[in-house]
Amino acid sequence: MIIDYLSNAEKYFSLNQRFEKAFGFLLNNDLSKLEERKYEIDDANVYATFMVRQGIAPEAAKHEAHDRYIDIQVCVSGKETFGWSHRSDCENVREAYNPEKDIIFYADKPDTYVGIKPGQFAIFFPDDVHAPLIGNGEIKKVVVKVGVM
């Protein structure tokens, strides 16, 4: 997991050859004016979804992980907290891996919690089990899915 400001995005381009396109979308669009929908960036390799959700309590958040995609989650407005655990520490599967949706849910509780605010992002790799949307009030966010190389 990585947490940083969008202004530092260039530091992470070398981690995945698709990160430059992913961050390019985030840096070259007014995120506050996006419509709530999916945005194609590079076919199935990189795409983004803008969403507006109500924050939830930590115990209601779903602890999830992905095999084929890396998540870059950006807070547009509000404040979002994520639960986090390393995948090797999660033993209790709540919902089996769904290859069509590239998601598995764990019943294990997060080991730690971290928050991001507007202008910040969190990167979750396949080993990062994360519980998103923890917070109070409305959360506007962009989730960019970047195919694992």
Task: Please say if the pLDDT value at position 84 is more than 90.
Answer: yes
Per the CB < 8 A criterion, the answer to whether 72 and 23 are in contact is: yes
The confidence score (pLDDT) of residue 39 equals 97
pTM score of the predicted model: 0.95
Confidence of residue 131 (pLDDT cuts 50, 70, 90): very high
The confidence score (pLDDT) of residue 48 equals 98
Q: Element (H or E) spanning 81, and its range?
A: strand 80-86
pLDDT in tens, 94-111: 999 999 999 999 999 999
Amino acid identity, position 134? I
Residues 6+ apart with CB under 8 A from 80: 55, 73, 115, 116, 132, 133, 134, 135, 139, 141
Mean pLDDT of the chain: 97
**CATH architecture for residues 2-147:** Sandwich (2.60)
The confidence score (pLDDT) of residue 95 equals 97
